[in-house]
Amino acid sequence: MCGIAAVLALAGLTATATVTSAAPIRPAEPSTVPPGGLTKPAARVTLLTGDTVRVDGNGRVVEVRPGKGRSGIGYSVRRVAGHTYVVPLDATRLLGSGRLDRRLFDVTQLVKDGYDDAHRKQVPLIVSYDGSNAVQKEARDSLFAGPAEVTHRLPAIHGDALTTDKPDTGKVWQALTDSAGGRSAVTAAPGIDRVWLDGRVKISAQAAVAPDPHGGVAQIGAPAAWKAGYDGKGVKVAVLDTGIDATHPDLKGKILKAKDFSGSGSTDDRQGHGTHVASTVVGSGAKSGGKYKGVAPGAELLVGKVLDDTGFGDNSDIIAGMQWAVAQGARVVNMSLGEVDTPGVDPLEKAVNDLSASSGALFVIAAGNSGPSDTTVGSPGAAAAALTVAAVDRHDKIASWSSRGPTADGRLKPDVAAPGVDIIAAKAAHGTEGNDEATGYVSMSGTSMATPHTAGAAAILAQEHPRWTGERLKSALTASARTLSGVTPYDVGVGRADLPRAIGTTVGSEPSSVDFGTPDPWPHDDDTPVTRTLTYRNDGTRPVTLDLGITAAGPDGKAAPTGMVTVSPARLTVPAGGNAKATVTADTRLGSADGVYSGAVTASGDGQSVRTALAVDREVETHTLTLVTTRRDGKRDNEPDVTVAGLDTGKQFTPYDDGKARNGTVTLRLPRGRYAISAMTITPAGRSAQLVAPHLVLDHDTTVALDGRKAKPVKVTAPDRRATLRDGQVVFAARGAKPAYDLAIGTDLDAKTTFLGQVSPNAPAGSFIAQAGGIWQRTATSPAYNLVTTRTGGFFDGLTRTFASNRGMARVNTSVATALTKAQTAQNNAWTTPGWPALDQATSTLEGPLRTAPTAKIVQYLSTGHGVRWILGTRTQNGTDGEGMTAFATSRRFEPDRTYRVTLDGGVHGPIVTPTKVVGGLRIGRYYALCVPMFSDGPGDFSYSAQNSVHTRLTSGGKVIGDFTEDTCPNTYSNLRAGTARYKLSITADRSKGYKISDHVEGVWTFTSTNTPETRAAAWPLSVVRFHPELSLTGTAKAGARITVPLSLQGPAAAKGRLKSLTVKVSYDGGRTWKPVTVHSAASGKPYLTLTNPSRPGAVSFRTALADTAGNTYTGTIHNAYRTVR
């Protein structure tokens, strides 16, 4: 898997609203956006349950909307390790049992991977089955009688891949579960074993810096193998990647078969990664006169295109490609791809393990490029049967970005290393990745490049030993690897692949590594020595006598104490064609340093040398944490939703997910330290208990009773005694040693069914905060009370509070405008708490009841205690399909006992850019991120609007760089030209259905952009013109009136001295004809127009053109910017 040095990320936007002291509403000009008050444009995600979630780019949940028939089912929001999870309460039991993939509710990753509603219209799943054949058939029939469609049969994991259109996900949820509605947690339907997200695997190119013309082929000793007569001849090698350029001279005559699994409709490599990888394995070097020959140029190539033209692929496509590869007789399968590993065996890992066992093929898989941190080996590289490959440079030094072990569940990986830095190989004719080197060749870096070196080496061994299985090939490659200095087996396995030693060896060891895991718990005075059997196999014609030894070092880098790890016998004779066994013993009573000891078992003699990686964990001070969970009805709960967060380490545990709880009890072995615990348990009647241990110091074996019976109810009364809780939530955050270690969780608050309780002592000052808040309102138009209660240091043991009056609250007279003809509106507000960013991520938006009037003026009262800030917003829908517009104002502090006026969603809607916060365009190297909201309201608030259509096109020098018929926010793309170039960006957005104003908006930008290092981002120089006439709440002005239209500029042209020219035209006939208008300059220097509205009712449209002094231009058109009425 290649690694990119920098990650493209859009900063967010929630621009300023019109907020003034109590006074009549005036024409609004946008204020300067304050630092830190910005979020990305929102994205909407449909969950498997049918509920929809809208989040902004900072992970804040903007809106959770129940699916059809799911009203009244609550949800929790949790922010863990930078990811926001939104979990409907009826899914908690399946999550707790480990039968439902948590990634299905990770809205942060779902948006990042393009599963949001703007970019994907279906929810893709992988389902495995259990039970009798009849039960499984019934489960399948139930699934596929409805809206679910099979995309792949996956016998390798005893399951299917399927998709369902997002409007139908609720029906599929019911077919997968025993769902009967209500708040109660559901279980899996008969015959359903597990349900996973059909996740996205990707490659990402990392530019080479100083390519080595001799490359890794020579480094691993391939020329010596060729000289010995081995070049992989007759061995089938499958490359599962982005396809192949079959026309490249280095690959002509090499391809036996090629098949597309990606849905791109062709096996042609339009990305470049697959061709580079394949030529590293089998390339002839014909185009370079043999200079850039692959490792095994005699091997035969099977090509499975499992990744699309952007380098992404679904898990199910990859499994289907794996099944096809072994069915075609592949002895070696190269997979230079991966995704984040999680504890347990995921579908990709299961497929690797099962297909390896059933076919005898060797799967050679990239470790990943997420180093140098530990536990970063990806999936499927974490599969036990895989030969997992790390990357080294030309000097045999580990690449800084090469992923390190152990796996997510603590196993020893990777297995071996190979060259992966600055590798030159074939360039795909239609590819976009890599740096051009010699004609027809590009350079790339990554474990993606190390993997085909190793796969080629495996093909050479497979030619030498036609009867060897994949397991034996793996053993030979690891046993013969060259020792590297300054690294551990968790970095590079046994060392760097060494073909001259591999082809000369007849002796190998099985297993390929000796992993003791954690043999005994801390303390170690009474530990019992443990043993592992190591089998040496001799495929030669003569017996071999080996001298055995151990090399191992501890966590401090010093040699392991004598006798801590031993092997016996010291000398071993392995008969010709037979095997002999040795015993490796670990005695963790010895030594004083706790931690992981690693090294190798060495065996040498009679011209043979074998090394086997080993590791043993002498557990650091660790204690047993026992959790006992009881529901409010007194029943023990084996499937609660529980998170244990290590505040000193940042590691998160969900101990009930493995389905092994008995009588509500689980145990964990955890290092001494500080922990926070969150538990949600729900009765069949839907009564939920949120239980929290804000600060648990684990310095001895401890039992925590998570007893829902001890949780207490919530009773909050607003000043209006007849106001009821319309939407509420309880949130808390525990502060870790680093911000990334914080735990933050928010839970839906229902006054009738939610109970709260604390189950540990309070936390130290400043390390924990809990808040409960909501909207209390009698009717949709009566005063709304936005109330928050804060507790520091501890969680709530129930909550009883009466707000006797409005004293201490801020009053906000809120005017809600609308752009829709038939509208319903509701307030969408959220609070933030300074100093607690993790808490803000878990705090979702509160929504009031819908109002049937298209516009509204309501009074809102806001809590002001504990420094709380408010983001005031409105959601408008058209009353038929629920689509519409959402507008949010910037987070700000409202002072107690003061009155404010706010207008939302008013004025002329049009595009906005804020280059300093990268709402517009941004590039890093040849990658770019693009996000131009086309319908932001007059005050400049971020406004998310439903769109009939949007078309975005980016070109340069007549070449199309990107062409999208979907909302680009907030995704990233590649393919920018190297060096400095001119670009043209065109965006057309239409929302004519149901909208009265700004129904069609166009923007065209021309600009210059220069390539940047992959460590630095640069904003594109995009500018826009904004219009600010004084309009009614329905977007109208008086017909025949003479009005002033203030203008404002955003982007580089707004800077002093940067505007070269600005022209404006106006149309009164829907854009059929245009006439220029004079742009005046006020005494302040700000531009404005003076117009006379048409005497008859109609509409006014604007067209602008500007240029800045650097030669960048913008042309924008807003059709029906406002309407005129008598």
Give the residue numbers annotated as catalytic, written as ranges.
241, 273, 448
Element (H, E) at 502: helix 499-504
Burial state string for 518-552 with b = 16 or more CB within 10 A and e = fewer than 16: bbbebebeebeeeebebebbbbbeeebebebebeb
In the DSSP assignment, the letter for residue 1052 is G
Using CA atoms, how far apart are residues 148 and 734, in angstroms rounded to an integer? 41
DSSP string, 679-692: EEEE-TT--EEEEE
Element (H, E) at 1123: strand 1113-1125
Tokens 């339907």 label which residue? Answer: 189
Using CA atoms, how far apart are residues 931 and 112, in angstroms rounded to an integer? 14
Q: Are the C-beta atoms of residues 842 and 733 closer than 8 Å to each other?
A: yes
Residue-level length of the chain: 1126
Calculate the dihedral angle through the C-alpha atoms of 420, 423, 428, 434, rounding to the nearest 10 degrees: 90
Tokens of 118: 């703007």
Hey, which bits of 349-483 come out as E strands? 362-366, 387-392, 416-419, 423-426, 435-436, 441-445
Element (H, E) at 855: none
Q: Are the C-beta atoms of residues 840 and 38 closer than 8 Å to each other?
A: no
Q: Classify strands 608-618 and 513-515 as parallel, antiparallel or unpaired.
A: parallel
Find, among 425, 561, 419, the residue nearest to 484 by Cα: 419
Q: Are the C-beta atoms of residues 1088 and 1046 closer than 8 Å to each other?
A: yes
Residue type, 905: D
Using CA atoms, how far apart are residues 399 and 421, in angstroms rounded to an integer? 7
DSSP string, 22-57: SS------PPPPPTT---PPPEEEE-TTS-EEEE-T
Residue type, 1102: F
State phi, psi for 53 to the nearest 5 degrees.
-125, 130
Q: Classify strands 332-335 and 362-366 as parallel, antiparallel or unpaired.
A: parallel
Q: Are the C-beta atoms of residues 123 and 46 closer than 8 Å to each other?
A: yes
**Whole-angstrom Cα Rg for the chain:** 32
Q: 3-state class of 259 per DSSP?
A: strand
Work out whether the CA dihedral 261, 266, 267, 268 comes out positive or negative: negative
Q: Are the C-beta atoms of residues 889 and 823 closer than 8 Å to each other?
A: no
In the DSSP assignment, the letter for residue 797 is S
Using CA atoms, how far apart are residues 911 and 314, in angstroms rounded to an integer? 34
Find, among 477, 204, 489, 451, the residue nearest to 374 by Cα: 489
Instruction: Report how far apart, in Å, the C-alpha atoms of 880 and of each of 90, 168, 841, 847 are.
Output: 28, 18, 31, 19
**Residues 6 or more apart whose Cβ sits within 8 Å of residue 656:** 96, 97, 98, 629, 638, 639, 640, 641, 642, 666
3-state helix, strand, coil in the chain (%, to 5): 15, 40, 45
In the DSSP assignment, the letter for residue 709 is G
In the DSSP assignment, the letter for residue 1 is -
DSSP string, 977-1045: PSSEEEEEEEEEEE--TTBSSS-EEEEEEEEEEE---TT--EE----EEEE-----TTSEEETT-EEEE
